[in-house]
Amino acid sequence: MSAGVDPITPIAVSTEPPPGYWRRESSHYPQPLSPMVRSLMVEPINKAFRGVFAETGALLEGIEFCEIGGWVYNRQVPLGGKDRKAPPKWLMWVAARTVPSLRSRIKTNLAAIRSDLTFQWVERWYNEWRPGQEAAITRFRAVDLAALDDKAFLQYVEELRRFFDESINIHFKLAVVALPMVELVFACEEMLQWDERRVLSLLTGLSTTSTEPARRLAELTRMAAGRPAVRDAISRGGPGTAARLPAIDAEFAAAFDAYQHDFACRAIRYEVADPTLAELPDLTMTLIRDQLTRNYDPEADAAAAAAKRGATASEARAALNSRPADLARFDRLLARAERVYPVREDNEFTTVSVPLALARYAGLEAGRRLVAREELADPNDVFFLEWEEMTARLASSGDARALVAHRKGERKWTLEHPAPPAYGTPPGPPPSFDALPKESAVAMKAILWATQRVFEEDRAAQKQVISATLRGIGAAPGRYTGPVRVILSEEEFDKIEAGDVLVCPITSPVWSIIFPSVGALVTDTGGILSHPAIISREYGVPAVVATANATALLKDGQVVTVDGDRGVIEVAVA
């Protein structure tokens, strides 16, 4: 076969959607999933959402994910499971009082609200779940997988799967704890006529776990700056820089290894088939190089965010000073929102990105064992198996090479057939919640508000044409001018240069490590509560999200000005 010819034959996959209205979910899954991560995440996420919504009594059955044509879609599942036009207000009033299943759901919802259930989950995160996650991760990481015999390794794999499912459940409980934050937004709109972005400035800078990797990297960068040999090696860069560190400076090499141990056991995106940060030490070297260039100062950023929070809170209190009841309400809601806001982003480290990394390492070890048995051609081919298929072959035997070849053909076909933005007929607006008890009505409005501001599907589907100005949603304030760097996937991180305007489909939380290197952010998808928006605010990086197709319109090297206040990108005339 001649060099450069792709031997994989495309194999069509079904594009027949299930019943209902499905939107493309590119804010978390811009690429097709590997079969392994599909089996680890899709149905467990659906189950977790169903459980969370049932426990809280939300008037939705859940948020459901599926693959159509190899791409990930989702939908909001109404009670009863079927999309239908919303009942008129009068009928909703009657149903809320006469339909037993709806009455029971509302009763559960009121009990959850009055017991402050979701805030209890926040406290459980701080006091129970996070310590438990950290302890379990330490235990799993301490195991030498290669030293286990097949029986012990299979037991490890089964225990890891149980831990992964528990992690998913915790993550999606914490995905719905935004009610206190939304209550603050609603209250500030009512009492102060503030928009949501102004309210969010009361909370920016509190997500310290998500910014800790960059803060620690800044410490390592300062250490490198004071060591000429290290600084010179990092500035020259190139493959293998990290491997040469022990010969250059043993003390710095030890500090670098400690950083990698603490922060690099993480999946870069929601995928196990991609290398983790720990497998890409030269990427960390590149980030240090960029920090050396930009003189990133995390303490100054944190101080600026704290000053902005304080000034905004003082402004609110001054406006409410003559209204004691409103002032007390503001202070109470702010304290609750301050407790909740960090959890939205910070939990991801131990509930998603590290569990995915552990699953990848277990998968690679399984792949090596299956290669030794001549049941796979390459260890990385294991990710074309579902988790249960992998464990079945570990437990017995069976050549998986034909199945892997088939799955590779399906993936090639999927990549050759871009996903449409939606399938099915939109069900229309939700029903009026005014017929519900006031507490339930507020809770449902909060759920819909928060969901929209994470995904912003409608805005992200409105394709633009190239012009002097592109528009999106202003997600992080500020204005910055610099050269574009289009990054379509994590494999292109090495293209980023200090001061670039990062233009990408979306970012996962782990991308936070590159934010000290960039001057501004532009994304195709996401809303003001999406991961890229939150991280941009934490780092003080101007950001515009939900442009729909900036990655297709902007080119590397173009000079643009990103205005995160107005939600526009101004393209410089050549």
Q: CB-based burial of residue 195 (10 Å sphere; 0-12 exposed, 13-18 middle, 19+ buried)? A: exposed
CATH class entry, domain 459-571 = alpha beta
Distance CA 516, CA 502 (A): 11
Burial (0-12, 13-18, 19+ Cβ within 10 Å), 495 = middle
How many Å is the Cα radius of gyration of the chain? 25
Task: Determine the pLDDT at residue 3.
Answer: 46
CB atoms within 10 A of CB 421: 16
Structure tokens at 61: 């059955």
Residues 6 or more apart whose CB falls under 8 angstroms from that of 324 comprise: none
Q: Report CA dihedral (339, 344, 349, 354) to the nearest 10 degrees.
A: 130
Q: Which residue spans of the chain are classified as CATH 3.50.30.10?
A: 459-571
- Model pTM score: 0.92
- Give the pairing of strands 479-486 and 500-504: parallel
> Would you give the distance in Å from CA 35 to the centre of its chain?
20
pLDDT at 507: 86
Q: Of 376, 402, 408, which is closest to residue 390 (Cα–Cα)?
A: 376
Query: What is the spatial distance between Cα 244 and Cα 242, in angstroms, rounded to a whole number?
Result: 5
pLDDT in tens, the chain (574 residues): 344 445 899 999 999 999 999 999 887 888 999 999 999 999 999 999 999 999 999 988 999 999 999 999 999 999 888 888 888 888 988 988 999 999 999 999 999 999 999 999 999 999 999 999 999 999 999 999 999 999 999 999 999 999 999 999 999 999 888 888 899 999 999 999 999 999 999 999 998 888 899 899 999 999 999 999 999 999 998 889 999 999 999 999 999 999 999 999 999 889 999 999 999 999 999 999 998 988 888 899 899 999 999 999 999 999 999 999 999 999 999 999 999 999 988 899 999 999 999 999 999 999 999 999 999 999 999 999 999 999 999 999 889 999 999 999 999 999 999 999 899 999 888 888 888 999 999 888 888 888 888 877 666 667 787 788 999 999 999 999 999 999 988 778 888 999 999 999 988 777 888 899 999 999 998 899 888 999 999 999 999 999 989 999 999 999 999 999 999 999 987 6
* DSSP summary character for residue 267: B
Q: What is the pLDDT of residue 21?
A: 94
Q: Let me know: does 211 contact 219? Beta carbons within 8 Å.
A: no
Alpha-carbon distance values, 316 to 306, 340, 450 (Å): 15, 20, 23
Looking at residue 178, what is its pLDDT?
Answer: 82
Give, for 514, the enclosing helix (H) or strand (E). none
